[in-house]
Structure 1
Amino acid sequence: MFKILKYSFYDLMRSRWSYVYFLFYLLLGLMLLFLNNALSNAVITMMNVIIVLVPLIGTIFGVMYYYSSREFTELLLAQPIKRSSIFLGQYFGVASSLAMSLVIGLGIPFVFYGIFNSSAIWDFSLLLVTGVFLTFIFTALAFVIALFNENKIKGFGYAILLWLFMAVIYDAIFLISLLYFQEYPLDKFSLVATLFNPIDLSRVLILLKLDISALLGYTGAVFQKFFGTNFGLVIASIALLFWVIIPTFFIWRIAKKKDF
Protein backbone atom coordinates (compact mmCIF):
# COMPACT_ATOMS: atom_id res chain seq x y z
CA MET A 1 0.00 0.00 0.00
CA PHE A 2 2.81 2.41 0.86
CA LYS A 3 4.49 1.86 -2.50
CA ILE A 4 1.21 2.66 -4.29
CA LEU A 5 0.73 5.65 -1.98
CA LYS A 6 4.20 6.90 -2.88
CA TYR A 7 3.58 6.43 -6.60
CA SER A 8 0.18 8.18 -6.47
CA PHE A 9 1.67 11.00 -4.43
CA TYR A 10 4.54 11.67 -6.85
CA ASP A 11 2.31 11.12 -9.86
CA LEU A 12 -0.12 13.80 -8.72
CA MET A 13 2.67 16.13 -7.61
CA ARG A 14 4.01 16.05 -11.19
CA SER A 15 0.58 16.98 -12.51
CA ARG A 16 0.09 20.56 -13.66
CA TRP A 17 -3.12 20.73 -11.66
CA SER A 18 -1.14 20.31 -8.44
CA TYR A 19 0.99 23.30 -9.43
CA VAL A 20 -2.14 25.29 -10.23
CA TYR A 21 -3.61 24.34 -6.84
CA PHE A 22 -0.38 25.32 -5.08
CA LEU A 23 0.01 28.60 -6.95
CA PHE A 24 -3.62 29.53 -6.31
CA TYR A 25 -3.16 29.38 -2.54
CA LEU A 26 0.23 31.05 -2.76
CA LEU A 27 -1.18 34.00 -4.71
CA LEU A 28 -4.32 34.09 -2.57
CA GLY A 29 -2.24 34.31 0.60
CA LEU A 30 -0.06 37.07 -0.85
CA MET A 31 -3.08 39.04 -2.01
CA LEU A 32 -4.91 38.77 1.33
CA LEU A 33 -1.82 39.79 3.28
CA PHE A 34 -1.36 42.76 0.94
CA LEU A 35 -4.98 43.89 1.33
CA ASN A 36 -5.26 43.31 5.10
CA ASN A 37 -3.22 45.21 7.64
CA ALA A 38 -3.53 42.50 10.31
CA LEU A 39 -2.79 38.80 10.09
CA SER A 40 -5.98 37.97 11.99
CA ASN A 41 -8.08 39.68 9.32
CA ALA A 42 -6.33 37.69 6.61
CA VAL A 43 -7.00 34.47 8.52
CA ILE A 44 -10.71 35.31 8.80
CA THR A 45 -10.95 36.01 5.08
CA MET A 46 -9.00 32.85 4.30
CA MET A 47 -11.43 30.81 6.38
CA ASN A 48 -14.32 31.62 4.05
CA VAL A 49 -12.27 30.36 1.10
CA ILE A 50 -10.88 27.24 2.79
CA ILE A 51 -14.22 26.01 4.15
CA VAL A 52 -15.85 26.01 0.70
CA LEU A 53 -13.01 25.49 -1.77
CA VAL A 54 -10.98 22.74 -0.09
CA PRO A 55 -13.90 20.25 0.01
CA LEU A 56 -14.71 21.02 -3.63
CA ILE A 57 -11.12 20.50 -4.79
CA GLY A 58 -10.77 17.31 -2.75
CA THR A 59 -13.99 15.93 -4.23
CA ILE A 60 -13.10 16.77 -7.84
CA PHE A 61 -9.50 15.56 -7.60
CA GLY A 62 -10.54 12.33 -5.89
CA VAL A 63 -13.08 11.39 -8.55
CA MET A 64 -10.88 12.61 -11.40
CA TYR A 65 -7.84 10.64 -10.26
CA TYR A 66 -9.86 7.44 -9.77
CA TYR A 67 -11.29 7.49 -13.29
CA SER A 68 -8.11 8.73 -15.02
CA SER A 69 -5.97 6.00 -13.46
CA ARG A 70 -8.39 3.20 -14.32
CA GLU A 71 -6.03 1.48 -16.78
CA PHE A 72 -3.14 1.57 -14.32
CA THR A 73 -5.44 0.23 -11.61
CA GLU A 74 -6.44 -2.70 -13.83
CA LEU A 75 -2.75 -3.45 -14.35
CA LEU A 76 -2.19 -3.47 -10.60
CA LEU A 77 -5.21 -5.70 -10.07
CA ALA A 78 -3.58 -8.30 -12.30
CA GLN A 79 -0.66 -8.45 -9.86
CA PRO A 80 -0.61 -10.36 -6.54
CA ILE A 81 -1.62 -7.24 -4.61
CA LYS A 82 -4.57 -6.83 -2.30
CA ARG A 83 -7.34 -4.76 -3.85
CA SER A 84 -7.80 -2.79 -0.66
CA SER A 85 -4.09 -1.90 -0.65
CA ILE A 86 -4.36 -0.52 -4.19
CA PHE A 87 -7.28 1.81 -3.56
CA LEU A 88 -6.23 2.84 -0.06
CA GLY A 89 -2.77 3.64 -1.40
CA GLN A 90 -4.24 5.75 -4.19
CA TYR A 91 -6.56 7.55 -1.78
CA PHE A 92 -3.84 8.43 0.73
CA GLY A 93 -1.52 9.47 -2.08
CA VAL A 94 -4.06 11.88 -3.59
CA ALA A 95 -5.17 13.30 -0.22
CA SER A 96 -1.58 13.73 1.00
CA SER A 97 -0.49 15.60 -2.14
CA LEU A 98 -3.48 17.94 -1.97
CA ALA A 99 -2.94 18.57 1.74
CA MET A 100 0.75 19.33 1.16
CA SER A 101 -0.06 21.79 -1.64
CA LEU A 102 -2.53 23.52 0.67
CA VAL A 103 -0.18 23.75 3.65
CA ILE A 104 2.87 24.89 1.68
CA GLY A 105 0.90 27.22 -0.61
CA LEU A 106 -0.66 29.05 2.34
CA GLY A 107 2.30 28.64 4.65
CA ILE A 108 4.96 30.35 2.54
CA PRO A 109 3.40 33.85 2.39
CA PHE A 110 2.30 33.79 6.03
CA VAL A 111 5.73 32.62 7.21
CA PHE A 112 7.47 35.43 5.33
CA TYR A 113 4.92 37.88 6.75
CA GLY A 114 5.93 36.85 10.29
CA ILE A 115 3.19 34.51 11.41
CA PHE A 116 5.54 32.86 13.96
CA ASN A 117 5.94 36.18 15.75
CA SER A 118 2.21 36.90 15.75
CA SER A 119 -0.53 35.89 18.17
CA ALA A 120 -2.53 34.71 15.15
CA ILE A 121 -0.28 31.67 14.69
CA TRP A 122 -2.69 29.40 16.60
CA ASP A 123 -5.65 30.60 14.54
CA PHE A 124 -3.69 30.02 11.36
CA SER A 125 -2.59 26.58 12.56
CA LEU A 126 -6.20 25.62 13.26
CA LEU A 127 -7.12 26.84 9.78
CA LEU A 128 -4.50 24.59 8.19
CA VAL A 129 -5.46 21.60 10.35
CA THR A 130 -9.13 21.87 9.46
CA GLY A 131 -8.15 22.31 5.80
CA VAL A 132 -6.14 19.08 5.93
CA PHE A 133 -9.03 17.28 7.62
CA LEU A 134 -11.48 18.48 4.98
CA THR A 135 -9.08 17.39 2.23
CA PHE A 136 -8.87 13.83 3.57
CA ILE A 137 -12.61 13.68 4.29
CA PHE A 138 -13.88 14.77 0.90
CA THR A 139 -11.22 12.90 -1.05
CA ALA A 140 -12.32 9.74 0.77
CA LEU A 141 -15.98 10.46 0.04
CA ALA A 142 -15.08 11.02 -3.62
CA PHE A 143 -13.35 7.62 -3.80
CA VAL A 144 -16.38 5.94 -2.22
CA ILE A 145 -18.69 7.51 -4.80
CA ALA A 146 -16.35 6.56 -7.66
CA LEU A 147 -16.11 2.96 -6.44
CA PHE A 148 -19.90 2.73 -6.42
CA ASN A 149 -20.28 4.18 -9.92
CA GLU A 150 -18.53 2.85 -13.00
CA ASN A 151 -20.02 5.61 -15.14
CA LYS A 152 -17.82 8.72 -15.06
CA ILE A 153 -20.66 11.16 -15.60
CA LYS A 154 -22.68 9.71 -12.74
CA GLY A 155 -19.62 9.65 -10.52
CA PHE A 156 -18.79 13.30 -11.14
CA GLY A 157 -22.45 14.27 -10.79
CA TYR A 158 -22.92 12.52 -7.46
CA ALA A 159 -19.63 13.92 -6.15
CA ILE A 160 -20.57 17.52 -6.99
CA LEU A 161 -24.04 16.95 -5.57
CA LEU A 162 -22.49 15.70 -2.32
CA TRP A 163 -20.32 18.82 -2.04
CA LEU A 164 -23.29 21.06 -2.87
CA PHE A 165 -25.39 19.35 -0.20
CA MET A 166 -22.73 19.67 2.48
CA ALA A 167 -21.72 23.24 1.61
CA VAL A 168 -25.10 24.83 0.84
CA ILE A 169 -28.22 22.67 1.10
CA TYR A 170 -27.42 21.25 4.54
CA ASP A 171 -27.07 24.76 6.00
CA ALA A 172 -30.37 25.83 4.41
CA ILE A 173 -32.21 22.85 5.90
CA PHE A 174 -30.53 23.47 9.25
CA LEU A 175 -31.55 27.15 9.34
CA ILE A 176 -35.11 26.41 8.24
CA SER A 177 -35.38 23.81 11.01
CA LEU A 178 -34.15 26.31 13.60
CA LEU A 179 -36.68 28.90 12.45
CA TYR A 180 -39.58 26.45 12.22
CA PHE A 181 -38.97 24.92 15.65
CA GLN A 182 -37.73 28.08 17.37
CA GLU A 183 -40.24 27.65 20.20
CA TYR A 184 -38.59 24.39 21.24
CA PRO A 185 -35.21 23.87 22.95
CA LEU A 186 -32.79 23.26 20.09
CA ASP A 187 -29.45 23.26 21.90
CA LYS A 188 -28.75 19.55 21.55
CA PHE A 189 -30.20 19.47 18.03
CA SER A 190 -27.86 22.27 16.93
CA LEU A 191 -24.81 20.53 18.35
CA VAL A 192 -25.66 17.14 16.84
CA ALA A 193 -26.54 18.65 13.46
CA THR A 194 -23.18 20.43 13.40
CA LEU A 195 -21.29 17.21 14.10
CA PHE A 196 -22.98 15.57 11.11
CA ASN A 197 -21.47 18.07 8.67
CA PRO A 198 -17.66 18.41 8.61
CA ILE A 199 -17.85 21.77 6.80
CA ASP A 200 -20.11 23.29 9.46
CA LEU A 201 -18.04 21.74 12.23
CA SER A 202 -14.82 23.21 10.81
CA ARG A 203 -16.45 26.62 10.38
CA VAL A 204 -17.70 26.65 13.98
CA LEU A 205 -14.31 25.66 15.39
CA ILE A 206 -12.52 28.42 13.48
CA LEU A 207 -15.08 31.08 14.39
CA LEU A 208 -14.87 30.16 18.06
CA LYS A 209 -11.08 30.17 17.97
CA LEU A 210 -11.15 33.62 16.37
CA ASP A 211 -13.54 34.73 19.13
CA ILE A 212 -16.19 35.94 16.71
CA SER A 213 -18.92 33.46 17.64
CA ALA A 214 -21.40 36.36 17.65
CA LEU A 215 -21.56 35.87 13.88
CA LEU A 216 -23.36 32.59 14.56
CA GLY A 217 -26.30 34.39 16.14
CA TYR A 218 -28.47 32.57 18.67
CA THR A 219 -26.61 29.30 18.33
CA GLY A 220 -23.30 31.07 18.90
CA ALA A 221 -23.78 30.98 22.68
CA VAL A 222 -24.60 27.28 22.53
CA PHE A 223 -21.53 26.50 20.44
CA GLN A 224 -19.34 28.69 22.65
CA LYS A 225 -20.55 26.86 25.75
CA PHE A 226 -19.80 23.44 24.28
CA PHE A 227 -17.10 23.72 21.60
CA GLY A 228 -15.38 26.56 23.44
CA THR A 229 -14.33 24.16 26.20
CA ASN A 230 -11.50 21.63 26.09
CA PHE A 231 -14.04 18.80 26.17
CA GLY A 232 -15.90 20.27 23.21
CA LEU A 233 -12.66 20.71 21.27
CA VAL A 234 -11.79 17.05 21.89
CA ILE A 235 -15.26 15.93 20.76
CA ALA A 236 -15.00 18.06 17.61
CA SER A 237 -11.56 16.66 16.81
CA ILE A 238 -12.81 13.11 17.31
CA ALA A 239 -15.80 13.84 15.07
CA LEU A 240 -13.53 15.10 12.28
CA LEU A 241 -11.32 12.05 12.73
CA PHE A 242 -14.33 9.78 12.41
CA TRP A 243 -15.29 11.64 9.24
CA VAL A 244 -11.93 10.46 7.86
CA ILE A 245 -12.03 6.94 9.27
CA ILE A 246 -15.55 5.96 8.22
CA PRO A 247 -15.21 6.75 4.46
CA THR A 248 -11.75 5.13 4.51
CA PHE A 249 -13.31 2.00 5.99
CA PHE A 250 -15.89 2.00 3.19
CA ILE A 251 -13.10 2.28 0.60
CA TRP A 252 -11.43 -0.76 2.15
CA ARG A 253 -14.68 -2.73 2.35
CA ILE A 254 -15.94 -1.90 -1.15
CA ALA A 255 -12.53 -2.59 -2.73
CA LYS A 256 -12.41 -6.04 -1.14
CA LYS A 257 -15.79 -7.12 -2.51
CA LYS A 258 -16.04 -5.16 -5.75
CA ASP A 259 -15.79 -7.15 -8.99
CA PHE A 260 -13.74 -5.17 -11.52
Structure 2
Amino acid sequence: MIGEFPMRLAGFPSEVLPPARATPVVRTVLTREWRGLRRNRGVLLFTVCTLLFAESFLRLTGSAERALVAMLNLVLLLVPLVSMMLGIISWHGAREFTELLLTQPVRRSRLFLALYLAQVLPLASGFVVAIGAPLLWHGIPDRSVWPLALSTIGSGVALTFVFGGLALLIGIRVDDRLRSVVAGLMTWLVLSIGYDALVLLVSTTFADYALERPMMVLMLGNPVDLARTIIVMHSDTAALMGYTGAVLHRFLGTTLGSASAALGLLWWMVTPAWLACRAFERRDF
Protein backbone atom coordinates (compact mmCIF):
# COMPACT_ATOMS: atom_id res chain seq x y z
CA MET A 1 0.00 0.00 0.00
CA ILE A 2 1.36 3.40 -0.92
CA GLY A 3 1.82 5.76 2.00
CA GLU A 4 0.50 9.23 2.60
CA PHE A 5 3.51 11.16 1.36
CA PRO A 6 3.43 9.95 -2.28
CA MET A 7 -0.34 10.35 -2.33
CA ARG A 8 -0.06 14.00 -1.35
CA LEU A 9 2.62 14.57 -3.94
CA ALA A 10 0.24 13.29 -6.60
CA GLY A 11 -2.50 15.64 -5.45
CA PHE A 12 -4.77 13.01 -3.84
CA PRO A 13 -5.91 12.80 -0.21
CA SER A 14 -4.09 10.40 2.07
CA GLU A 15 -7.15 8.19 2.69
CA VAL A 16 -8.30 5.73 0.06
CA LEU A 17 -11.09 7.14 -2.03
CA PRO A 18 -14.45 5.36 -1.94
CA PRO A 19 -15.90 4.09 -5.21
CA ALA A 20 -18.37 6.98 -5.38
CA ARG A 21 -15.49 9.41 -5.78
CA ALA A 22 -13.91 7.62 -8.71
CA THR A 23 -15.12 10.20 -11.22
CA PRO A 24 -13.30 13.14 -9.50
CA VAL A 25 -10.12 11.07 -9.61
CA VAL A 26 -10.48 10.58 -13.36
CA ARG A 27 -11.18 14.29 -13.76
CA THR A 28 -8.05 15.05 -11.75
CA VAL A 29 -6.01 12.72 -13.94
CA LEU A 30 -7.31 14.33 -17.10
CA THR A 31 -6.60 17.83 -15.79
CA ARG A 32 -3.12 16.90 -14.60
CA GLU A 33 -2.13 15.19 -17.85
CA TRP A 34 -3.64 17.98 -19.95
CA ARG A 35 -1.67 20.66 -18.11
CA GLY A 36 1.49 18.60 -18.30
CA LEU A 37 1.22 18.10 -22.05
CA ARG A 38 0.36 21.75 -22.64
CA ARG A 39 3.68 22.62 -21.04
CA ASN A 40 5.42 19.83 -22.92
CA ARG A 41 8.05 21.24 -25.23
CA GLY A 42 7.32 18.59 -27.82
CA VAL A 43 3.67 19.66 -28.12
CA LEU A 44 4.60 23.34 -28.21
CA LEU A 45 7.34 22.73 -30.78
CA PHE A 46 4.98 20.72 -32.98
CA THR A 47 2.34 23.45 -32.82
CA VAL A 48 4.77 26.28 -33.58
CA CYS A 49 6.48 24.41 -36.44
CA THR A 50 3.15 23.48 -38.02
CA LEU A 51 2.00 27.09 -37.69
CA LEU A 52 5.17 28.36 -39.37
CA PHE A 53 4.83 25.83 -42.19
CA ALA A 54 1.22 26.78 -42.82
CA GLU A 55 2.00 30.49 -42.79
CA SER A 56 4.98 30.01 -45.12
CA PHE A 57 3.00 27.91 -47.60
CA LEU A 58 0.21 30.49 -47.68
CA ARG A 59 2.64 33.33 -48.33
CA LEU A 60 4.71 31.47 -50.94
CA THR A 61 1.88 29.93 -52.93
CA GLY A 62 -0.51 32.86 -52.71
CA SER A 63 -3.44 30.45 -52.75
CA ALA A 64 -5.14 28.66 -49.89
CA GLU A 65 -5.89 25.60 -52.02
CA ARG A 66 -2.29 25.23 -53.22
CA ALA A 67 -1.03 25.78 -49.68
CA LEU A 68 -3.31 23.06 -48.29
CA VAL A 69 -2.23 20.62 -50.98
CA ALA A 70 1.41 21.47 -50.24
CA MET A 71 0.78 20.62 -46.58
CA LEU A 72 -0.43 17.13 -47.52
CA ASN A 73 2.87 15.44 -46.65
CA LEU A 74 2.97 17.40 -43.39
CA VAL A 75 -0.38 15.92 -42.39
CA LEU A 76 0.35 12.40 -43.60
CA LEU A 77 3.92 12.06 -42.31
CA LEU A 78 4.67 14.50 -39.51
CA VAL A 79 1.39 14.26 -37.59
CA PRO A 80 1.49 10.44 -37.25
CA LEU A 81 5.19 10.48 -36.35
CA VAL A 82 4.82 13.13 -33.63
CA SER A 83 1.68 11.48 -32.23
CA MET A 84 3.40 8.10 -32.10
CA MET A 85 6.66 9.27 -30.50
CA LEU A 86 5.15 11.66 -27.96
CA GLY A 87 2.56 9.06 -27.01
CA ILE A 88 5.14 6.35 -26.31
CA ILE A 89 7.49 8.70 -24.47
CA SER A 90 4.65 10.17 -22.39
CA TRP A 91 3.38 6.73 -21.42
CA HIS A 92 6.75 5.51 -20.19
CA GLY A 93 7.53 8.84 -18.54
CA ALA A 94 4.30 8.71 -16.49
CA ARG A 95 4.65 5.04 -15.59
CA GLU A 96 5.06 5.62 -11.84
CA PHE A 97 2.16 8.08 -11.77
CA THR A 98 -0.06 5.56 -13.53
CA GLU A 99 0.89 2.84 -11.05
CA LEU A 100 0.02 5.22 -8.22
CA LEU A 101 -3.40 5.86 -9.72
CA LEU A 102 -4.06 2.14 -9.97
CA THR A 103 -4.00 1.91 -6.17
CA GLN A 104 -7.22 3.94 -6.13
CA PRO A 105 -10.70 2.39 -6.54
CA VAL A 106 -11.06 3.61 -10.11
CA ARG A 107 -12.20 1.50 -13.04
CA ARG A 108 -9.27 0.89 -15.35
CA SER A 109 -11.33 1.67 -18.43
CA ARG A 110 -12.13 5.17 -17.12
CA LEU A 111 -8.56 5.74 -16.11
CA PHE A 112 -7.36 4.68 -19.54
CA LEU A 113 -9.86 7.03 -21.21
CA ALA A 114 -8.52 9.92 -19.14
CA LEU A 115 -4.91 9.10 -20.02
CA TYR A 116 -5.75 8.62 -23.69
CA LEU A 117 -7.68 11.87 -24.08
CA ALA A 118 -5.08 13.81 -22.14
CA GLN A 119 -2.47 12.56 -24.58
CA VAL A 120 -4.21 13.15 -27.91
CA LEU A 121 -6.32 16.25 -27.23
CA PRO A 122 -3.39 18.70 -26.78
CA LEU A 123 -1.79 17.51 -30.03
CA ALA A 124 -5.08 17.64 -31.91
CA SER A 125 -5.85 21.10 -30.55
CA GLY A 126 -2.39 22.34 -31.48
CA PHE A 127 -2.80 21.04 -35.01
CA VAL A 128 -6.21 22.70 -35.43
CA VAL A 129 -4.86 26.03 -34.20
CA ALA A 130 -1.71 25.78 -36.33
CA ILE A 131 -3.63 25.12 -39.55
CA GLY A 132 -6.76 27.14 -38.87
CA ALA A 133 -5.18 30.32 -37.52
CA PRO A 134 -3.24 31.25 -40.70
CA LEU A 135 -6.32 30.57 -42.83
CA LEU A 136 -8.36 32.92 -40.66
CA TRP A 137 -5.63 35.55 -40.63
CA HIS A 138 -5.33 35.67 -44.40
CA GLY A 139 -9.02 35.12 -45.00
CA ILE A 140 -10.46 32.79 -47.64
CA PRO A 141 -12.96 34.60 -49.84
CA ASP A 142 -13.62 31.52 -51.96
CA ARG A 143 -15.96 29.21 -50.06
CA SER A 144 -15.05 26.32 -52.35
CA VAL A 145 -11.74 26.01 -50.48
CA TRP A 146 -13.39 25.34 -47.12
CA PRO A 147 -14.19 21.66 -47.83
CA LEU A 148 -10.51 21.06 -48.55
CA ALA A 149 -9.50 22.99 -45.42
CA LEU A 150 -11.96 21.10 -43.22
CA SER A 151 -10.93 17.74 -44.67
CA THR A 152 -7.26 18.57 -44.06
CA ILE A 153 -7.86 19.60 -40.46
CA GLY A 154 -10.23 16.69 -39.82
CA SER A 155 -7.84 14.13 -41.28
CA GLY A 156 -4.96 15.50 -39.20
CA VAL A 157 -7.04 15.27 -36.03
CA ALA A 158 -8.15 11.74 -36.93
CA LEU A 159 -4.56 10.61 -37.52
CA THR A 160 -3.62 12.09 -34.14
CA PHE A 161 -6.22 9.86 -32.47
CA VAL A 162 -5.23 6.83 -34.57
CA PHE A 163 -1.52 6.99 -33.86
CA GLY A 164 -2.11 8.10 -30.28
CA GLY A 165 -4.05 4.88 -29.73
CA LEU A 166 -1.34 2.86 -31.46
CA ALA A 167 1.29 4.55 -29.29
CA LEU A 168 -0.52 3.57 -26.11
CA LEU A 169 -1.04 0.04 -27.38
CA ILE A 170 2.68 -0.34 -28.08
CA GLY A 171 3.67 1.32 -24.80
CA ILE A 172 1.40 -0.94 -22.76
CA ARG A 173 2.45 -4.14 -24.51
CA VAL A 174 6.21 -3.39 -24.60
CA ASP A 175 7.83 -2.64 -21.23
CA ASP A 176 11.20 -1.42 -22.46
CA ARG A 177 11.17 2.21 -23.60
CA LEU A 178 13.76 1.77 -26.34
CA ARG A 179 11.97 -1.24 -27.79
CA SER A 180 8.71 0.69 -27.68
CA VAL A 181 10.24 3.58 -29.61
CA VAL A 182 11.67 1.22 -32.21
CA ALA A 183 8.32 -0.58 -32.56
CA GLY A 184 6.57 2.78 -32.92
CA LEU A 185 8.97 3.95 -35.59
CA MET A 186 8.56 0.70 -37.52
CA THR A 187 4.77 0.95 -37.30
CA TRP A 188 4.85 4.54 -38.55
CA LEU A 189 7.26 3.62 -41.35
CA VAL A 190 5.10 0.73 -42.55
CA LEU A 191 1.82 2.66 -42.48
CA SER A 192 3.15 5.97 -43.83
CA ILE A 193 5.64 4.80 -46.46
CA GLY A 194 5.85 1.05 -46.91
CA TYR A 195 2.18 0.19 -47.22
CA ASP A 196 1.56 1.93 -50.54
CA ALA A 197 4.66 0.27 -51.97
CA LEU A 198 3.26 -3.11 -50.93
CA VAL A 199 -0.08 -2.29 -52.58
CA LEU A 200 1.70 -1.28 -55.77
CA LEU A 201 3.67 -4.54 -55.74
CA VAL A 202 0.46 -6.56 -55.37
CA SER A 203 -1.22 -4.62 -58.17
CA THR A 204 1.65 -5.17 -60.60
CA THR A 205 2.06 -8.83 -59.68
CA PHE A 206 -1.61 -9.65 -60.18
CA ALA A 207 -2.29 -7.16 -62.96
CA ASP A 208 -4.14 -9.79 -65.04
CA TYR A 209 -6.88 -10.16 -62.42
CA ALA A 210 -9.72 -7.89 -61.36
CA LEU A 211 -8.27 -6.02 -58.39
CA GLU A 212 -10.86 -3.37 -57.69
CA ARG A 213 -12.33 -4.98 -54.58
CA PRO A 214 -8.99 -6.25 -53.20
CA MET A 215 -7.57 -2.75 -53.61
CA MET A 216 -10.51 -1.34 -51.69
CA VAL A 217 -9.88 -3.79 -48.85
CA LEU A 218 -6.18 -2.92 -48.84
CA MET A 219 -6.99 0.77 -48.71
CA LEU A 220 -9.15 0.26 -45.63
CA GLY A 221 -6.17 -1.39 -43.94
CA ASN A 222 -4.14 1.82 -43.83
CA PRO A 223 -5.30 4.99 -42.04
CA VAL A 224 -2.76 7.14 -43.85
CA ASP A 225 -4.17 6.10 -47.23
CA LEU A 226 -7.65 6.85 -45.97
CA ALA A 227 -6.63 10.33 -44.81
CA ARG A 228 -4.88 10.98 -48.12
CA THR A 229 -8.00 9.97 -50.01
CA ILE A 230 -10.26 12.23 -47.95
CA ILE A 231 -8.00 15.24 -48.43
CA VAL A 232 -7.24 14.87 -52.11
CA MET A 233 -10.82 14.04 -53.05
CA HIS A 234 -11.67 17.63 -52.14
CA SER A 235 -8.97 19.02 -54.43
CA ASP A 236 -8.10 18.74 -58.10
CA THR A 237 -4.73 17.11 -57.46
CA ALA A 238 -5.57 13.50 -58.25
CA ALA A 239 -1.93 12.69 -58.98
CA LEU A 240 -1.16 12.90 -55.25
CA MET A 241 -3.72 10.32 -54.24
CA GLY A 242 -1.51 7.28 -54.51
CA TYR A 243 -2.59 4.00 -56.06
CA THR A 244 -5.29 3.02 -53.56
CA GLY A 245 -6.75 6.50 -53.52
CA ALA A 246 -6.92 6.54 -57.31
CA VAL A 247 -8.75 3.21 -57.27
CA LEU A 248 -11.26 4.58 -54.78
CA HIS A 249 -11.90 7.70 -56.86
CA ARG A 250 -12.28 5.72 -60.05
CA PHE A 251 -14.59 2.93 -58.94
CA LEU A 252 -16.69 4.49 -56.16
CA GLY A 253 -17.01 8.13 -57.08
CA THR A 254 -16.33 11.16 -54.96
CA THR A 255 -19.31 11.09 -52.57
CA LEU A 256 -19.38 7.37 -51.85
CA GLY A 257 -15.60 7.22 -51.78
CA SER A 258 -15.36 10.01 -49.20
CA ALA A 259 -18.01 8.35 -47.03
CA SER A 260 -16.24 4.98 -47.20
CA ALA A 261 -12.89 6.54 -46.38
CA ALA A 262 -14.39 8.51 -43.47
CA LEU A 263 -15.99 5.37 -41.99
CA GLY A 264 -12.75 3.46 -42.41
CA LEU A 265 -10.81 6.24 -40.68
CA LEU A 266 -13.36 6.28 -37.85
CA TRP A 267 -12.85 2.53 -37.43
CA TRP A 268 -9.11 3.13 -37.16
CA MET A 269 -9.67 5.80 -34.52
CA VAL A 270 -11.69 3.42 -32.34
CA THR A 271 -9.96 0.06 -32.79
CA PRO A 272 -6.37 0.81 -31.59
CA ALA A 273 -7.71 2.72 -28.59
CA TRP A 274 -10.04 -0.17 -27.74
CA LEU A 275 -7.24 -2.71 -28.02
CA ALA A 276 -5.00 -0.52 -25.87
CA CYS A 277 -7.78 -0.26 -23.28
CA ARG A 278 -8.16 -4.05 -23.21
CA ALA A 279 -4.39 -4.44 -22.80
CA PHE A 280 -4.40 -1.85 -20.02
CA GLU A 281 -7.19 -3.66 -18.16
CA ARG A 282 -5.42 -7.02 -18.38
CA ARG A 283 -1.91 -5.78 -17.62
CA ASP A 284 -0.39 -6.79 -14.28
CA PHE A 285 1.43 -3.73 -13.02
TM-score by length of 2: 0.86
In 1, Cα distance between equivalents of 2:143 and 2:258: 23
Residue of structure 2 equivalent to 1:168: 193
Corresponding residue to 1:120 among 127, 145, 155: 145
Q: Which runs of 5+ in 2 are unaligned?
A: 1-25
Contact 2:196 2:243 in 1 (8 A): no
1:100-138 deviations in Å (ceiling 9; x for gaps): 000001111111111365421110110000000000000
- After superposition, residues 94-243 of structure 1 pair within 5 angstroms as 94-115=119-140, 117-216=142-241, 222-243=247-268
In 2, Cα distance between equivalents of 1:33 and 1:221: 27
Corresponding residue to 1:79 among 91, 101, 104: 104
Contact 2:54 2:134 in 1 (8 A): yes
Contact 1:214 1:220 in 2 (8 A): no
Are residues 226 and 184 of structure 1, via their aligned partners in 2, closer, same or farther at CA, if it must alter by over 3 Å? closer
1:28 aligned partner, one-letter code:
F
Aligned residue pairs: how many?
260
1:176 Cα deviation after fit: 0.9
In 2, Cα distance between equivalents of 1:149 and 1:23: 31
1:195-229 deviations in Å (ceiling 9; x for gaps): 11000111122112113224457766632245534
Q: Specify the SS of the correspondent of 1:120.
A: helix
In 2, Cα distance between equivalents of 1:61 and 1:248: 16
Are residues 61 and 246 of structure 1, via their aligned partners in 2, closer, same or farther at CA, if it must alter by over 3 Å? same
Corresponding residue to 1:43 among 58, 65, 68: 68
In 2, Cα distance between equivalents of 1:254 and 1:156: 18
Q: Specify the SS of the correspondent of 2:144.
A: coil
Greater shift, 137-146 or 75-84, is seen at: 75-84
Quick check: 1:93 aligned with 2:131? no
In 2, Cα distance between equivalents of 1:140 and 1:221: 28
Q: Specify the SS of the correspondent of 1:65.
A: helix
1:184 aligned partner, one-letter code:
Y
1:47 Cα deviation after fit: 1.1
2:259 aligned partner, one-letter code:
V
Q: Which runs of 5+ in 1 are unaligned?
A: none
TM-score by length of 1: 0.94
In 2, Cα distance between equivalents of 1:63 and 1:20: 17
1:162 aligned partner, one-letter code:
T
1:4-25 deviations in Å (ceiling 9; x for gaps): 2232122101222221111111
1:141-167 deviations in Å (ceiling 9; x for gaps): 010011001111111111111000101
Contact 1:55 1:135 in 2 (8 A): yes
Contact 1:26 1:106 in 2 (8 A): yes
Quick check: 1:12 aligned with 2:37? yes
1:55-109 deviations in Å (ceiling 9; x for gaps): 1011001101100111111111112222222222111111111000000011111
In 2, Cα distance between equivalents of 1:233 and 1:220: 10
In 1, Cα distance between equivalents of 2:101 and 2:199: 44
Residue of structure 2 equivalent to 1:257: 282
2:95 aligned partner, one-letter code:
R
RMSD: 1.8
In 1, Cα distance between equivalents of 2:96 and 2:38: 19
Contact 1:84 1:251 in 2 (8 A): no
1:223 aligned partner, one-letter code:
L
Contact 2:233 2:254 in 1 (8 A): no
In 2, Cα distance between equivalents of 1:213 and 1:38: 18
2:108 aligned partner, one-letter code:
R
1:18-45 deviations in Å (ceiling 9; x for gaps): 2111111111111111110211110100
1:3 Cα deviation after fit: 3.7
Q: Which structure has the higher relative contact order (CA within 8 Å, separation 6+)?
A: 1
